[in-house]
Amino acid sequence: MTLPDASSNPAGADRTFQVDLRGLVDLLSHHLYSSPRVYLRELLQNAVDALTARHTLEPAAPAGAFGIRLYADGSVVRVEDDGVGLTEADVHTFLATIGRSSKRAEQVAEQRGDFIGQFGIGLLSCFLVADEIHVVSRSARTPDAPAVEWRGRGDGSYTLRTLRASARPRPGTTVTLTPRADAGEWTRPTQVRALARHFGSLLRHPVTFSDGTGGTGTAVNPEPAPWARTHPTPGARSRALAAYGEEVFGFTPLDTVELDLPAVGLKGIACVLPQAVPAGRRHGHRVHVKGMLLSEQAEEILPEWAFFVRCVVDAESLRPTASRESLYEDDTLAAVRDALAERLRAWIARAAAGDPDLLARFLHAHHLAVKSLAVHDDEILRMLLPWLPFETTDGHTTLDAFARAHRTVLVTANVEEFRQVAAIASAAGLGVVNGGYTYDRELVHRLPEIRPETSVADLDPATLTAHLDPVDRETELAAAAYLARAREALAVFDCDVALRTFQPASAPALLVDSREARHERTRSQLAREQEGGLWGDILGALRQEAPRAQLILNQLNPLVRTAVAIDEPELARTSAEALYGQAALLSRRPLRPAESSLINRSFLDLLAHALRKDH
């Protein structure tokens, strides 16, 4: 910024900011726009807005009478439109004043919603690829007004002159850029054509491109959006929408959901992904505003749970941010997000009611997304909860099939508990669902809302042990000495030892130990270590009877029957440690360092005993 001479401004007088245009362009390129390629989008946007104003001025003009023509041959990039054009006064007002938009002029204020741009800084994006912007324009509002030429330069200076009528016989505007050497990546003819197609494929005005090699140019947007076309049959329409989704996203949709919100002028499609996506991962959606591509990564258009679809939409009433690369978060966007979510719910409901094959394929790929929705949506819960797959003691099955086989459904708090008890519970005839995955435990507990005849309860270790058969008194007494030595050996792990019979007989032992019990024992141990200090007093005040783990030996297992008959104290102790270690490994929970050490030691001791016996 340049400070004016103090002598030219009396004390207290208002002063005017002096703008460093090069610094402003650098700010735009690094912080407002994501890439220099947006220069073409801004030029297209200005041309579209000029055409919109021309149609407002001449409403009787036939559709397609006014258009946009692009030209690029490697040395220049030119964008010409048949829009409303500019007078000399307009040029001073709108091209030479940063931040002012012609769309804010009073004469078009009422039609402001018809225009894409609202911030009046788009033309500056041309300085990302060129050092000079050359504009020739003739106004349609003032038919006898001469054509004007404006040249703006990156140092902040500009020139303006009046041209002969022959220089621009028809109303409209031509913007010409001479690219810098370092901007060739964005201004080559093939790139300009690709960018025009990328940003303007859904524009409602005809757009053509020419590279000077002959011909009248090729159409950038030869067809309207697929949802705006007529099709001979509903099946043909569905196939056309799916083909468009595949062209845009690169995958064949499992199905397409047509989106239509007349209140905000939104139309488009949601393409259902054919494969599962990681939980919580949100795909970006392609959002066009009045035909112009705004963003390819607009996550905010749909709620988080809808990560099983990707959308292409074109809207009239959504507001872009200043960079015109994302959406402004306001009440309109929130309402659109809710309405689109309702459309997806309705699609799921239709599939559930009338297309079981599609529903099965959808749930196979996206059951996690549906579970996340069912947690918060009672309607989806009632429709789909019975059909959702869960990991159970009967294998992976639907909750409906599992509930028919088990009037009482038990659910574990975590994956570790389920893996610890699954085989034993299945052999005992208990119906247990793995509640350790996201949403599963909460959903299983809501099953009685759908099937009142089914009861659901959390799996408690006591529930499982109650289903294990006790041994007879003589067997218990014969094993008493061994059980005592085993309890002594495992006391360091706060683990009790019991003898039961259960299926499968191939399982020698079951370690019943919940995560909560281990946490409580850890807290009690810490309290003992900190006894006497402030922290120890706090933990002591919270102290409860620490729950113990339980190693349940299976009397039906031949190895256990041999072990409980061991008379040698050290061998009995080692075998009990080995059985504990094997049961801990089968539980698939993380091992504590002391447990890892015990497993190694017991293995080596048993190996040494076997070698001594052989000799």
> In whole angstroms, what separates CA 76 from the centre of its chain?
40
What are the DSSP calls for 309-325, one per residue?
EEEEEEESSPPB-TTSS
The residue written with tokens 């909750």 in the block is 399
Strand partners, 210: 71
Task: Please name which of 469, 500, 460, 503 lies closest in space to residue 483, comparing C-alpha atoms.
Answer: 500
In the sheet that holds 286-289, the strands lie side by side as 255-261, 266-272, 309-315, 286-289, 292-295
Find the DSSP H helices in 355-479.
356-376, 378-384, 399-405, 415-427, 440-445, 447-450, 461-466, 473-478
Q: Where residue 590 falls among pLDDT bands split at 50, 70, 90?
A: confident
Asked if 318 and 264 count as a contact pair (C-beta separation under 8 A), the reply is yes
Q: Per residue in 394-446, pLDDT tens? A: 999 988 899 999 999 999 988 878 887 888 888 888 899 999 888 999 999 99
Predicted confidence at residue 317, as pLDDT, reads 84
pLDDT above 70: residue 205: yes
What pLDDT is attached to residue 612?
A: 78
The half-sphere exposure of 4 on its side-chain side, counting CA atoms within 13 A, is 13
What average pLDDT does the segment 558-564 reach? Answer: 93
Cross-strand partners of 497 = 551
3-state secondary structure 475-528: HHHHCHHHHHHHHHHCHHHCEEEEEEECCCCCCCEEEECCHHHHHHHHHHHHHH
332: pLDDT strictly greater than 60: yes
* Matching residue, tokens 């009990």: 576
The pLDDT score that the predictor gives to residue 272 is 95
With b meaning 16 or more CB within 10 Å and e meaning fewer, what string describes 327-364?
beeeebbeebbeebbebbbebbeebbeeeeebbebbbe
Query: What are the DSSP E strand ranges found in 98-238?
Result: 130-138, 148-153, 158-162, 172-179, 207-210, 218-219
Task: With a cut of 90, say whether residue 77 has pLDDT above it.
Answer: yes
86/98 Cα distance (integer angstroms): 16
Distance, CA of 103 to CA of 107 (rounded, Å)? 9
Question: What is the pLDDT at residue 119?
Answer: 38
- Per DSSP, 73 falls in state -
Query: Which H helix or E strand runs over 411?
Result: strand 408-411
Q: Rounded to the nearest 5°, which phi and psi values hold at 41?
A: -60, -40
From CA 343, how far away is CA 309, in angstroms rounded?
12
Tracing tokens 């130990």 back to the chain, one arrives at: 513
β-strand pairing of 509-512 with 389-392 = unpaired
Q: Among candidates 163, 140, 124, 152, which has minimal Cα distance to 50? A: 140
| Residue keyed to tokens 């959504």 | 318
pLDDT tens sequence across 233-286: 999 999 999 999 999 999 999 999 999 999 999 999 999 999 987 655 667 899
Cβ pair 73, 209 in contact under 8 A = no
Angle at 553 between CA 549 and CA 558, to 5 degrees: 160
479: nearest Cα among 492, 469, 470: 470
289 in Cβ contact with 116 (< 8 Å): yes
End-to-end CA distance of the chain: 96
Least confidently predicted of 64-68, 73-77, 333-337, 542-546:
542-546
pLDDT per residue as tens digits for the range 219-243: 999 989 999 999 999 999 999 999 9
Report the number of secondary-structure helices (H) and strands (E) in the chain: 21, 22
Contacts 24+ apart (CB under 8 A), 44-47: 44/68, 44/79, 44/196, 44/199, 44/200, 44/203, 44/207, 44/292, 45/116, 45/117, 45/122, 45/292, 45/324, 46/81, 46/117, 46/122, 46/123, 46/173, 46/175, 47/79, 47/80, 47/81, 47/83, 47/173
Distances 416 to 507, 522, 581 between C-alpha atoms, Å: 17, 18, 16
- What is the pTM for the complete model shown? 0.69
Tell me, what's the pLDDT at 493?
Answer: 86
Burial class (CB in 10 A: 0-12, 13-18, 19+), 24: middle
Give the closest residue to 398 by CA, choosing from 455, 440, 436: 440
**If you average pLDDT over every residue of the chain, what do you get?**
83
CA 281 to CA 484: how far, in whole Å?
53
For the beta carbon of residue 494, count every other beta carbon within 10 angstroms. 18
Query: What is the chain's alpha carbon radius of gyration, rounded to the nearest angstrom?
Result: 37
Query: Are 273 and 253 a contacting pair, CB within 8 Å?
Result: yes
pLDDT at 118: 41
pLDDT band at 362 (very low <50, low <70, confident <90, very high): very high
Gap between the Cα atoms of 42 and 125, Å rounded:
7
Judge contact between 18 and 305, C-beta under 8 A. no
